Amino acid sequence: MALEKLGKALNSALKKLARSKTVDEATIKEVVRDIQRALIQADVNVRLVLQLTKTIEKRALEEEPPAGASKKEHIIQIVYEELTKFLGKEAKPLEIKEKPTVLLTVGIQGSGKTTSVAKLARHLQKRGYKVGVVCSDTWRPGAYYQLKQLLEPYGIEVSGDPEEKDAVKLAYKGVEYFRGKDVDVIIVDSAGRHKEESGLIEEMKQISQAIKPHEVILVIDGTIGQQAYNQALAFKEATPIGSIIVTKLDGSAKGGGALSAVAATGAPIKFIGVGERIDDLEAFDPKRFVSRLLG
């Protein structure tokens, strides 16, 4: 992962702490400054960084370690806890409750939406669900063939019609088709042609009204870093049933910025994309993520 750089920088801050002879105020402040620098380099919003590191510093200076733990261990625990909270605290897994559960994915072209739909379909199939995928992208006829190519080897059916120009009709027809097919999950991929979030969200609303999805999933490109905040916020305001996939975290030094920006909106990140292959999707769990980041 390209977040390795952030992980390394955070680690070296904590190692400095581990190596220091005494843990006084100056040591704590130095460690906090190193953490600040590491996060800012990963494109985390400066205001968020200051809030986070202020909390870490305050806790590190004021709290007594619990019985059996050293001051150093306790500070490391504080950093771990605060970073986890910073990324959303608890894992919020995707729930498949009803049969069929209908999921609608939206996202700006190039964000990795189509790839993510295929990855998600495969992820659910591996967990025993029968999945149908609907392509309602009327802007990019290639999306339908892309999905078929990615999913047919796994026996996952894709519904679509590259000739049809009405996205709402395509989505509706596809969902109806799979309702008759005894699938557990229907994933609808929508167009991402709008450069403006408003157009994207308007189409999302129309498709949403037609197919009544259980959940709308926004796909955000992790390489945009902290700009992900506005995208996630616009989306969250438009729909009460949102969750987010942040993609391309393997290729971007700004991944920390994107993840923390999305988490700051309160929209749950449920998956992260960590590569171009169909299996490169991970369920997002802040605790596990931070443990791995800190090694």
Number of residues that bind ligand GDP (CB under 6 A): 18
In the complex with ligand GDP, which residue's Cβ is closer, 56 or 106?
Answer: 106
Which of residues 48 and 269 has its CB atom nearest to ligand GDP in the complex? Answer: 269
Sheet holding 281-283, edge to edge: 157-159, 131-136, 185-190, 101-106, 215-221, 242-247, 269-273, 281-283
Between 42 and 79, whose beta carbon lies closer to ligand GDP?
42
Considering only residues 174 to 193 of the shown chain, the ones binding ligand GDP according to CB under 6 A are: 192
Rounded Cα gap, residues 195 and 208, in angstroms = 20
* Contacting ligand GDP within 249-268 (CB under 6 A): 250-251
Among 247, 257, 261, 286, binds ligand GDP (CB under 6 A): 247
**Per-residue mark of binding to ligand GDP, 89-128 (x: CB under 6 A):** ------------------x-xxxxxxx-------------
**Residue 83 or residue 117: which is nearer to ligand GDP going by CB?**
117
Report if residue 208 touches ligand GDP, rule: CB under 6 A. Answer: no
Beta bridge pairs of residue 271: 245, 283
Closest by CA to 49, choosing from 59, 58, 37, is: 37
> Shortest Cβ distance from residue 137 to ligand GDP (Å)?
8
Residue nearest ligand GDP (C-beta atom)? 273
Contact assessment for residue 217 and residue 105, using Cβ atoms and an 8 Å cutoff? yes
122, 123, 236, 248: which one binds ligand GDP (CB under 6 A): 248
Please say whether the beta carbons of 256 and 42 come within 8 A. yes
**Please, are residues 236 and 267 in contact by the beta-carbon 8 Å criterion?**
yes
Exposed, middle or buried by CB within 10 Å (0-12, 13-18, 19+), for 295? Answer: exposed
Binding site for ligand GDP (CB under 6 A): 107, 109-115, 192, 247-248, 250-251, 273-276, 280
